[in-house]
Chains A and B, each alone.
Chain A
């Protein structure tokens, strides 16, 4: 029973750690499926987190904060778009620039506005997304096994958690069951065909990266106004890159993206959980190994040792219309 309780807590922690990865991973999915590489997920998430925490602190509303976070993140995405779509610049270089810009501006502006060493003020009450209890939690709490699963795993999360998981089927539907999705995917595979059909490739790509911006903004808002109570310098801590790894691991597909993010979320929950714990037989598990696992797995997968990850064919190449 004690083992079961521990497992449930570990899985609940997995869900909380998965959410930002999932949102950022799906964000990357839209952009990369349309043919725009995006290593700037990290920067957009960070900027979104800062925007959300700032506005939530000023207005006392987590929702207004969330919209501000989305706005900031979309603005960053548009910089990436102007550089890599309009000016046909290198998408990797532009992504690197976005990451630095976010890392610098968030602390600089945070220090100017709040004078707390780059932090935003502590958020309380409605300025944060608080955990919500689903119906019947009290009644079911005492039911063995099921009650524990219901209270800790299914209920008891904030609204953004449910939004994040709902985004998975939504993304699947948009990408694979709508005309917009077909055009978006085609822009990343064979932009010339899209152009021949009379559809503006660059406009499609701009729409895709705006969605990327929205989802990164949500991921950022989750970090600063739901998981934590305020913005801290560099609070994304590489999550944007783990999301990128998960995207590759999922072979640019939405449903596998969910499982890849859950796996990586579980690894980071396990890493926190095993910190300094001595296990029988194995002894102390090197936590660093567990933390590095997402990156190692992605390298192995990319090298084709377990399956093969092939990205969208036209990814990274600016589209030039023939005259």
Chain B
């Protein structure tokens, strides 16, 4: 007899993601083999490039900072049952808020610029998340489609704004004026040269704070409880007196605001000016990070670190092994999304069967012992 039981908690949280991830990496290894390079050598270069020296580590943590924001944005909406794949566009428009504040307050102090720029970026990113949220909640639009459309609208809008309003007349390239003083987020190498020339900056600490605050928001506040209830069972939430449409709008707004923090990390942390397409797909990586991290801050931190290492190590790999181009990261990313997200059930069924069999055989052992002890007594 085959008994299927829910997996024990440790298997669900650690074993299943581990198996899925291993499969994704194994197939990535095959791809490397297919293009005629050694997977083992590639992994060595990747790990050394990501963690082996200060500058590499700095880049890894810098990328991870983006992915923490993107992953949190995805999962906050996810907890409310909304599939927000618009972090890309939300971060992009948030860049406008960040650069405008930074340019205006460039002669003050970064401690003044940072909070105001964060508010401005969160406001614009939040607005870009609120509108799809509003349309989903009040007009019944499909949030996935609307957020996809909003990514493209953001892209067209930003090209227009940068070319027509932000580009200094003497500039040829489509980019805003640069911030030179207080508008730049201080990079950690200013205090600690261990990080070499990496752009790791103070937003790294904001990312850690965001992880903690998200945990508190979702699991320790009334709003978080409502968001999770709504996501788990909208009709139960409705009968409990929770306004579903309000929760959807709030969750989508917070989600967009958090995605907006990517703008500070990139625009004020690296580029020091607003350039076209600075988000560079980081918003989409958030989907993978959120899925892999099981929408929990601890998982997201680990997944963001993994993807940070993949991005930095991948650049190193592209440099050391010319056959392996930067697009290898996209392939790995796709496989991780496929196996930890869409094919998540691949190992679950067989595992449930194995665990069911183990449990059954151990319980029948117990029954044998009981019989034995009973007969010996008699």
- Cβ contact within 8 Å between B330 and A100: yes
The answer to the question of A83 belonging to the interface, with a C-beta cut-off of 8 Å to chain B, is: yes
- Cβ contact within 8 Å between A96 and B152: no
- Cβ contact within 8 Å between B135 and A94: no
Q: Size of chain B's interface in residues, with CB distance under 8 A?
A: 46
**Given A87-B346, A96-B85, do A296 and B153 touch, yes or no (CB 8 Å)?**
yes
The answer to the question of B119 belonging to the interface, with a C-beta cut-off of 8 Å to chain A, is: no
Residues of A within 8 A of B327 (CB): 103-108, 111, 118
The answer to the question of A159 belonging to the interface, with a C-beta cut-off of 8 Å to chain B, is: no
Q: Size of chain A's interface in residues, with CB distance under 8 A?
A: 49
The answer to the question of A286 belonging to the interface, with a C-beta cut-off of 8 Å to chain B, is: yes
The answer to the question of A130 belonging to the interface, with a C-beta cut-off of 8 Å to chain B, is: no
Residues of A within 8 A of B181 (CB): none
Instruction: Give the one of B338, B341, B346 with max A CB within 10 A.
Output: B338
CB of A78 to closest CB in B, whole Å: 13
Q: How far is the CA of A108 from the CA of B341 in the complex (A)?
A: 23
The answer to the question of A26 belonging to the interface, with a C-beta cut-off of 8 Å to chain B, is: no
Of chain B, the residue at the smallest CB distance from A103 is B330
The answer to the question of A59 belonging to the interface, with a C-beta cut-off of 8 Å to chain B, is: no
Contact of A112 among B148, B149, B287, B323 (CB under 8 A): B323
Which stretch from B45-53, B100-108, B154-162 is at the chain A interface? B154-162
The answer to the question of B253 belonging to the interface, with a C-beta cut-off of 8 Å to chain A, is: no
Instruction: Give the one of B35, B145, B156, B330 with max A CB within 10 A.
Output: B145
Contact of B341 among A82, A88, A90, A303 (CB under 8 A): A90
- B315-347: which residues lie under 8 A (CB-CB) from chain A? 323-325, 327-335, 337-338, 341-346
- Cβ contact within 8 Å between B342 and A83: yes
Contact of A299 among B141, B156, B334, B338 (CB under 8 A): B141
The answer to the question of A172 belonging to the interface, with a C-beta cut-off of 8 Å to chain B, is: no
User: A95-135 interface mask toward B, CB cutoff 8 Å, 1 = contact, 0 = none?
Assistant: 01111110111111101100000100000000000000000
Contact of A97 among B85, B153, B334 (CB under 8 A): B334
Residues of B within 8 A of A299 (CB): 135, 141, 146, 149-150, 153
- Cβ contact within 8 Å between B323 and A101: no
Which stretch from A4-12, A160-168, A185-193, A287-295 is at the chain B interface? A287-295
The answer to the question of B31 belonging to the interface, with a C-beta cut-off of 8 Å to chain A, is: yes
- Cβ contact within 8 Å between B145 and A248: yes
The answer to the question of B204 belonging to the interface, with a C-beta cut-off of 8 Å to chain A, is: no
The answer to the question of A263 belonging to the interface, with a C-beta cut-off of 8 Å to chain B, is: no
User: A9-49 interface mask toward B, CB cutoff 8 Å, 1 = contact, 0 = none?
Assistant: 00000000000000000000000000001010000000000
Residues of B within 8 A of A118 (CB): 325, 327
Contact of B284 among A98, A100, A108, A286 (CB under 8 A): A100
Of chain B, the residue at the smallest CB distance from A293 is B156
- Cβ contact within 8 Å between A292 and B284: no
- Cβ contact within 8 Å between A289 and B334: no
The answer to the question of B139 belonging to the interface, with a C-beta cut-off of 8 Å to chain A, is: yes
Residues of B within 8 A of A302 (CB): 135, 139, 141-142, 145-146
The answer to the question of A54 belonging to the interface, with a C-beta cut-off of 8 Å to chain B, is: no
The answer to the question of B303 belonging to the interface, with a C-beta cut-off of 8 Å to chain A, is: no
The 3 closest A-B pairs by CB, nearest first: A104-B330, A100-B334, A89-B342
- Residues of chain A having any CB pair with chain B under 8 Å: 37, 39, 79, 82-84, 87-94, 96-101, 103-109, 111-112, 118, 238, 241, 244-245, 248, 286, 288-289, 291-292, 295-296, 298-299, 302-305, 311
- Residues of chain B having any CB pair with chain A under 8 Å: 31, 35-36, 83, 85, 135, 139-142, 144-146, 148-150, 152-153, 156-157, 159-160, 164, 284, 287, 291, 323-325, 327-335, 337-338, 341-346
Pairs A–B under 8 Å by Cβ, sample size 7: A87-B343, A93-B338, A97-B337, A104-B327, A108-B327, A118-B327, A298-B145
